[in-house]
Amino acid sequence: MALSARNRLSGTVKSVNTNDVVAEVVIELPDGQTVASTITRSSADRLDLAEGDDVQAVIKASEVMVNKD
């Protein structure tokens, strides 16, 4: 599949927590950092995501916010 997003982080699914509507997927990167994503439950089911799966976090954002307290 060709995508326009250029930011891809390869990692391993650390956890998948679902409810009726959404799923939170936590991906552990090779250096131990984690990335969390909230996707629809149907997308998680379609991808058949499970702990230990090798995946990519594909990041495309038209806006990045920075805050300093």
**Residue range 8-46, pLDDT digits in tens:** 999 999 999 999 999 999 999 999 999 999 999 999 999
> Does the global pTM surpass 0.95?
no
> Is the confidence at residue 61, as pLDDT, over 80?
no
- Give the separation between CA 48 and CA 65, rounded to whole angstroms: 32
Confidence of residue 54 (pLDDT cuts 50, 70, 90): very high
Residue 21: the pLDDT is 96
Residue 49: which residues within 8 A CB-CB, separation 6 or more? 13, 16, 23, 25, 55
> Is the confidence at residue 63, as pLDDT, over 80?
no
